[in-house]
Amino acid sequence: MAGRVTIVQAEEVVCEGEIDPADVHLPGIYVQRIVEVGRQETGVEIEKLSSNGEDQS
């Protein structure tokens, strides 16, 4: 069963047309609430670089 309400947590809310539609991960038609939280340190995002510069994904 799916949820009835989708809430988006956003670092910054911008005016319509300021971002490329290809950069949108969830179309607005599915969003009922937006919470602007500002820039936050999560500790979840970890940047990993290979020692020889190659992508190992």
Question: What would the 3-class secondary structure string for 3-23 be?
Answer: CCCCEEEECCCCCCCCCCHHH
Question: How far is the CA of 39 from the CAs of 3, 6, 35, 44, in angstroms?
Answer: 27, 21, 12, 14
Q: State the CB neighbour count (10 A cutoff) for residue 12.
A: 9
**Is the model's pLDDT at 38 over the cut of 70?**
yes
Domain ranges of the chain: 7-36
Residue 37 pairs with which residues in a beta bridge? none
Q: Answer for the pair 11, 40: CB distance below 8 angstroms, yes or no.
A: yes
pTM of the model: 0.49
Read off the pLDDT band of 36 (50, 70, 90): very high
